[in-house]
Amino acid sequence: MRLTNATSVKKSVKQGIRAVAARAGVSTASVSRALNNPDAVSPSLRARIEQAIDALGYIPHAPARILSSRRSRTLGAIVPTIDNTMFARGIASLQHYLSSVGYMLFLTTSGYDLDVELQQARNLISRGVDGLVLRGDCHHDGLRKLLADNAVPFINVGIYQPDRPYPCVGTDNEAAAHRAAAHVIELGHRRIGIVSALQRNNDRASARVAGFRRALAENGLELPPQWHVEVPYTLDDAREAARYLLNLKDRPTAVVCGNDVIAYGVLLEAERDGFSVPRDLSVVGFDDLDWSRHLRPSLTTIHVPTGETWQRAGEYLVRSLAGEQTIMHREVDFSLVVRESTAPPPKSPK
């Protein structure tokens, strides 16, 4: 056995697409075509190639494919946290949709930190994502520049801002919050408190607060500073805030909340302090989580179709990438769900 011989043999068939090509007796170009555009290759060749493919258990190497074709069929998503039912829902829905159209998803979390978000974006772009799904429109300036410089398509999800030059899809949180507050006002409440989520780097939370406030202002209602509390996304913090509000000398008869978790905390604390909801206190949530209708009393809240929202975000990007014309600003409807936790205020609000 000659070395020259061995060398030439070793070199002839290694692995990957060339091995398939060799086995099927065709060129790599044909194998590639059979894989990406089956109609462009004759049935006989296609059959030979397919047979070679699963005889060899061939799995195409995506990075090589991406390198050569400059398309990854991968989207990136950056969410503040996955540890929030609404985001988990949205991501699940987005991912389900993407996999149905042959795309993959790179998911990262920023923890509401703009610098981290920028870093993640850089990472994702380096990974070759075709587009980016971002939560809201509260971003680092560098992020906008980065996206522009690299011509990366993106969409802001979970907000609706038709006046901005960036694409977005989501519900109008300000309007929805306005609706929630209007509901208790219509019931006759005049003394309304707010327990919101932390507004820092969170345009969704801010928009909701703005909506609450606008409704109060439009109806000539005061909002004493001590009636507005901001809390992190945990039951304990919500309870603490509720305890504070309910123990004020001069306390509200209704509380509108930035989300359902907060509302649940308020409900729990109200019960513990001997208040009856909705007799002594009305409570409105926001998001309509699964268990909200199971609570006692069941929670009046704003229903937001998260799954649909995130799926549409995916659709927008996939369509844009396919060169189709799509709507830049898409509004997703919310709805007020009236349940047991709201009622007219007590006659003598002691």
Tell me how far, at minimum, the Cβ of 145 lies from its own copies, in Å: 9
Return the number of the residue (145 or 164) whose C-beta is nearest its own copies.
Answer: 145
Tell me how far, at minimum, the Cβ of 44 lies from DNA, in Å: 6
By CB under 8 A, residue 67 contacts its own copies: yes
What is the rounded distance in angstroms from the CA atom of residue 5 to the CA atom of residue 10? 9
Which of positions 87-126 make contact with its own copies (CB under 8 A)? 88-89, 91-92, 95-96, 99, 104-109, 122-123, 125-126
Return the number of the residue (58 or 264) whose C-beta is nearest DNA.
Answer: 58
> What character string, x for contact with its own copies (CB under 8 A) and - otherwise, covers 239-278?
x------------------------xx--x--x-------
List strand residue ranges (DSSP E) for 80-140, in order. 104-109, 131-135
> Residue 161's binding partner, choosing from DNA, its own copies, none, with beta-carbon cut-off 5 to 8 A by kind?
none
> Residue 221's binding partner, choosing from its own copies, DNA, none, with beta-carbon cut-off 5 to 8 A by kind?
none
What is the rounded distance in angstroms from the CA atom of residue 237 to the CA atom of residue 175? 26
Return the number of the residue (66 or 187) whose C-beta is nearest DNA.
Answer: 66
Q: Scanning the structure block, which residue is given the tokens 């507004």?
A: 199
What is the rounded distance in angstroms from the CA atom of residue 22 to the CA atom of residue 1? 23
Paired sense of beta strands 301-303 and 154-157, if any: unpaired
What is the rounded distance in angstroms from the CA atom of residue 64 to the CA atom of residue 62? 5
What is the rounded distance in angstroms from the CA atom of residue 25 to the CA atom of residue 130? 34
Binding test (CB under 8 A) with its own copies, winner from 39, 54, 163, 290:
290
DSSP letter for 137, please: S
Return the number of the residue (34 or 216) whose C-beta is nearest DNA.
Answer: 34
Tell me how far, at minimum, the Cβ of 62 lies from its own copies, in Å: 5
Q: Scanning the structure block, which residue is given the tokens 């005889």?
A: 55
Lookup: tokens for 47: 């059959």
Q: Which residues bind DNA (CB under 7 A)?
A: 14-18, 25-33, 35-36, 40-42, 44-45, 58-61, 64-65, 67-71
> Is residue 8 helix, strand or coil?
helix
Tell me how far, at minimum, the Cβ of 295 lies from DNA, in Å: 52
What is the rounded distance in angstroms from the CA atom of residue 169 to the CA atom of residue 236? 32
Tell me how far, at minimum, the Cβ of 272 lies from its own copies, in Å: 9
What is the rounded distance in angstroms from the CA atom of residue 74 to the CA atom of residue 103? 5
What is the rounded distance in angstroms from the CA atom of residue 43 to the CA atom of residue 172? 52
Q: Scanning the structure block, which residue is given the tokens 């309007």?
A: 175
Lookup: tokens for 169: 């899809």
By CB under 8 A, residue 223 contacts its own copies: no
Segment contacting its own copies (CB under 8 A): 64-72, 245-253, 325-333, 338-346?
Answer: 64-72
Return the number of the residue (35 or 238) whose C-beta is nearest DNA.
Answer: 35
The dihedrals phi and psi of 68, each to the nearest 5 degrees, come to -80, -30
Return the number of the residue (26 or 231) whose C-beta is nearest DNA.
Answer: 26
Q: Scanning the structure block, which residue is given the tokens 């985001």?
A: 87
Which positions lie near its own copies, rule CB under 8 A?
57, 59-64, 66-67, 72, 81-83, 85, 88-89, 91-92, 95-96, 99, 104-109, 122-123, 125-128, 149-150, 234-235, 239, 264-265, 268, 271, 290-291, 294, 296
